Each structure stands twice: as C-alpha cells, then as structure tokens.
Structure 1
Amino acid sequence: MKNHILKGISFVFHPLIMPLMGVLFYFSKTPRFIPLPVMKAKIFSIVILTIILPILLFFLLKTINKVDSIYLKSTKERLIPLFINSVIILLILIRVITPSEMIELYYFFLGILCSTLTCFILAGFKIKASIHMIAASGFFMFAVAIGLHYHININGTIALMMIIIGAIATSRLHLKAHTNQELLIGIITGVGPQLLLLNYWL
C-alpha cells in the first residue's frame, strides 16, 4: 500500500505538469486584466507543448529504444529528452509567452529553460539531478516571487508546496530513484535560475 502511494506521488506530481501549474497559478493571482480567450489560448498552448508533445515524443523514443521509462533513470537516456524539452521551452519563449505580454511568466519559463539546460549539462558529465525536484522547487520559488511581487498572502500555497516537495523527495528516495545528493542538486538547479532572474521582473 505504502509503495503504491509513493509511486502515485511521483506520477501525479510529474515534472511535466509543473509549467502548467505555474501558468495556472499566475492567472489565478495576477491583478492584471487578461481576457479569458487569451488565458484559454495560453493554457491550451502550454498543455500541448509541455505535456502532450513530450509524452508523444517519449513514446517515439521508447519505440526506437532511446529511453527505457518515463522517469529517465540513467543519465544517458536523459540527454535526448532534455535537449528536446529545451527546444520546446525555447519555442514557448519565442511564440507563446513573450516579455511584452506577461513578463512574470516569461522569466518563469526562462528559468525553466536554464534549469533544463543545467540538468542536460550535468547529465553529459554523468551527474544525475532529480528532475522531479527541479520542477517542484522551481515552481515553488516562482510562487513565492509572485506573492512578493503582488503583495498577496500565499501562505497556504507555500505550506502546501512544502508538503508536496517533502512527499516527492520521500517518494523518490523510497523508490530508490535518487540519493539525497541528487535531490539536493535538483533543488538547487530548480531554485537557482528562478532566484537569479528575479532581478529582471520583481
């Protein structure tokens, strides 16, 4: 039972959903007026590009034996998916989320791109970072920054995210997917770029 619950946590809070969570969180908290059709178009684009497209590409890579599982257990099988994801995020920055429209989301995705490229470089040196922790901690830092930026109380979100991050870390350790060091590298890789980019929009 415990094993199934922890596996479920890793699945439910998969890194693929974190960019969408960031977008939804931004739209729910920003005091700016954004027309509903614009929000729907952005959300639809993000779902297609960050969830559906990567899943389809994963099955393609699995078919040609380039990856073994969706969790990308080895550093070698991470290289192609991370490179593809970097290209997808770059496409989002160019075509979907521009700084003139939504500067907060633009730098959120720029932070994701920096984290993804860092993870790619680490994988090239056979250093494994937890992608789950990169995604969750990156979103956590963005949520905190949005709270500070708009002077709103997000204590509930912070508390919930700390519980979720703790649950994800526990899950990854229990499943022997990562070591403590790999989880820490993941947190630093996720938080670092978001923190450094705050100077440009906060």
Structure 2
Amino acid sequence: MSDFLKSISYIFHPLFMPLLGSTFFFSKSPRYLPVEIIEEKLFSIGLLTIILPILLYLLLKTLKKVHSVNLPTTKERILPLALNCVIIFLVIERILPKNELLELYCFFIGILLSTLACLILAILQFKISIHMIAAGGVLMFIIGTSIHYQININGSIMLMCVISGLIATSRLHMRAHNNIELLIGFFIGIIPQIILLNYWL
C-alpha cells in the first residue's frame, strides 16, 4: 500500500495535469477539429509543460538551485514556479490563441493564475500542495466542460474526484504536506477555473 500511495504522486504529478486536461477536452468536445491539429496541439503542450520543465529542473539541480524533485522548501520553489509561469504564458500565446480554442485558453489562464498564487505564497514562505492545485484545476475544468457542452460525463468527474482524494492521501502519507496545505492548494486550483467559467460557458 505504501508503494502504491507513493506512486500516485508520480503518476499524477502536476507536470502531467495540463496535458491530461487538454487530452480530456479534445476527447469530449463535439467540435470538429482535424486529427492532425489535435495531435500538433497535444504534442506542443506536452513538450512545453512536461519535457521543458524536466530539462530546466535538471539544469537547476546541476546549478544547485534545487536539491529534490519534491521542492520541499519554499525557497527552492520560487525559481521553478517563476519559470513555469513563463512556460504557461508561452503555451497561451503560441499554442492556444484565444480566437481558436477559447475553452483551453481559459483553462491555461486558470493554470497561470494558480501558479502565480502559489509563487506569491512561496515568496511569503507559505508552502501549499502543487499536486492539489493541479488536481483541483483539472477537476473544475472537467465539470465546466460537462456544463458547457451539456454532456453527461459524471463518470469522468467521479474518477477525477477519486484521483484527487488519492493524491491528497499520497501527499499526507509521504508527509509532504499537512491538511491545511492540501486544502488551500485544492481551492487555489479550483477558484481561478470557476472565475474563468464566465468567459467560456
């Protein structure tokens, strides 16, 4: 059970969640888009939100700016979070222009706002769960997609709720966060997505 809970933190790492949300959107959206365009968008999102941050992390570790992939201290989190804000901004500007895919555009604006909030809190030396920020953001985006297209995806919503619970349990089991840090992280992920629903629902 211990190994299973630890694996949850890696399987549903925050780096994978933007791609997960984007893949879900393309799989459920009734809007027609050529397969080539979908593949191009997902590849670009994966490249910028997964591969690039990993390479930057390795660079920061080489420069001794970070010491662990878990970024256990608020000081270690500041530079990676700032770089991630730049990466998300690039995704918004270069891959998901507002006039093409408004839903995903707003999803990534929400991610950017949540990341900025997490960065500000890290500067103020308050640590929250980035895992729960990501889980909360994806969960709210899935709910928004269901409302927007008026489709029954209760199974997907329930699955994401279960995943969010497993992530929280995993972080507690690993003693990476306490209950307050998990709860605040979850709401920091959800709230920007709720606010942005007004622009695409």
Q: What TM-score do the two structures reach when normalised by structure 2?
A: 0.99
Structure 1 position 71, deviation (Å): 1.4
Distance of 2:15 and 2:36 partners within structure 1: 24
- The residue aligned with 2:36 is 37
* 1:65 equivalent in alignment to 2:39: no
Structure 1 position 73, deviation (Å): 1.0
- The residue aligned with 1:181 is 180
Distance of 2:71 and 2:181 partners within structure 1: 14
- The residue aligned with 1:86 is 85
User: C-alpha offsets along residues 125-179 of structure 1, whole Å, 9 cap, x if unaligned?
Assistant: 0111100000011000000000000000111011111111111100000110000
Q: Can you give the 5+ residue segments of structure 1 that lack an aligned partner in the other structure?
A: none
- SS in structure 2 at match of 1:66: coil
Task: Kindly provide the amino acid, as one letter, of the partner of residue 50 in structure 1.
Answer: T
Structure 1 position 44, deviation (Å): 0.7
- The residue aligned with 1:15 is 14
Structure 1 position 60, deviation (Å): 0.6
- SS in structure 2 at match of 1:112: helix
- SS in structure 1 at match of 2:127: coil
Task: Kindly provide the amino acid, as one letter, of the partner of residue 156 in structure 1.
Answer: G
Q: Can you give the 5+ residue segments of structure 2 that lack an aligned partner in the other structure?
A: none
- The 5 A counterparts of 1:77-116 are 77-116=76-115
Distance of 1:164 and 1:181 partners within structure 2: 19
- The residue aligned with 2:120 is 121
Considering only aligned residues, what root-mean-square deviation do their CA atoms show, in Å?
0.6
Distance of 1:13 and 1:146 partners within structure 2: 20
- The residue aligned with 1:141 is 140
* 1:167 equivalent in alignment to 2:197: no
> Alignment identity in percent?
57
- The residue aligned with 1:132 is 131
Task: Kindly provide the amino acid, as one letter, of the partner of residue 92 in structure 1.
Answer: V
Q: What TM-score do the two structures reach when normalised by structure 1?
A: 0.98
Structure 1 position 6, deviation (Å): 1.0
Structure 1 outlier segments of 4+, above 3 Å: none
- The residue aligned with 1:55 is 54
Task: Kindly provide the amino acid, as one letter, of the partner of residue 135 in structure 1.
Answer: A
